[in-house]
Amino acid sequence: MLLQVLGTAAGGGVPQWNCACPGCSGARAHPDRRRRHASLAVRADDDHWYLINATPDIADQIEHTPALHPGPAARRTPMAGIVLTDAELDHTLGIARLREADRIEVLATVPVRAALCERAHLDGLLKSYTALEWRELGSVPVPLSQGSDVEISAVPISAKRPRYAGGYVAAGPGSEASPRNAADPWVVALRLHDRRTGGTALYAPALAAWPDAFREALAGADVVLLDGTFWDDEEPRRSGFSTRTATGMGHLPISGPGGTAVRLAPLAARCLYTHLNNTNPLVDPAAPQHKELAALGLAVAAEGMEIAL
């Protein structure tokens, strides 16, 4: 199994177009600090790759990743489909950017598909351009593509909905895309396991909670890429863009007594943070917080890095 990190930023990227905070200003002055929206590419086999989440940067991410370039035939692409961890706009807007495709395979949980089809009307928007072919993503491992040694399964995280789906009620049991019950997860982590090599990766760009199922998945992972949106719980309020804390916004902070760093430090897995907000001091490679992570055996994922398992 081969993983390629396509982006490591939270919503808006770094720099964010309407922001002059130190993180964004630093990225404008130093282009090497720029970060695209968080995404990961997974090689299912020699000829097929799946992108985890379809971000607004998807076309740019493909162009900066030679393994995803089309060819040798004029319209042949190695990109086989998209896997969604949730229904947030930052993780789904890129699907529309792929409208030139003959078809787009999308793996998603039941409520995520329902929200995108019934609330965001994604099927209706794209039906004149391309066909969306949906595969249900659940807790039972399935091959990423037909014949692939890489299996994928969803680890339920939380019921956090995107803003556009607030108060959303599905069309009902007659709707193929409707959630079956309230327990269906809106946000999941993804477990990727290579049956041939035995390697296992866990990808969790949004963590509003630390449920038992996630803790159990961590115990069996070789590599973990997870939510590093905010350094500490007060960061959003201190930065002045929100009246809510990090946990109030649906992201467990990295540092502090209840932070994710102290939970990850005892693990044997290689742990890398992704989905960094523009206000997070970690967007500056010289920030002292990097040394704090290193002392715990943790680090921030680098865009373009490859991980072989």
pLDDT along the chain (309 residues), means of 10: 98 97 97 97 95 98 97 93 98 97 96 96 96 97 96 97 82 45 80 98 97 97 98 95 94 95 97 98 98 98 98
d(CA 302, CA 293): 14
Distance, C-alpha 223 to centroid of its chain: 15
Residue 60 tokens read as: 């740019």
Residue 174 has what pLDDT?
41
Least Cα distance to 203 among 252, 159, 161, 154 occurs for: 154
Q: How high is the pLDDT of residue 179?
A: 43
Spatial CA neighbour of 3 closest among 46, 41, 60: 41
Burial class (CB in 10 A: 0-12, 13-18, 19+), 92: buried
And the tokens for 19?
Answer: 């922001």
> How far apart are the C-alpha atoms of 23 and 208, rounded to whole Å?
23
The answer to whether the CB of 114 falls within 8 A of the CB of 175 is: yes
pLDDT of 234: 96
- Residues counted in the chain: 309
Helix, strand, coil: what percent of the chain each, to 5? 25, 25, 50
Domains, the chain, with CATH or none: 2-304 (3.60.15.10)
pLDDT at 258: 87
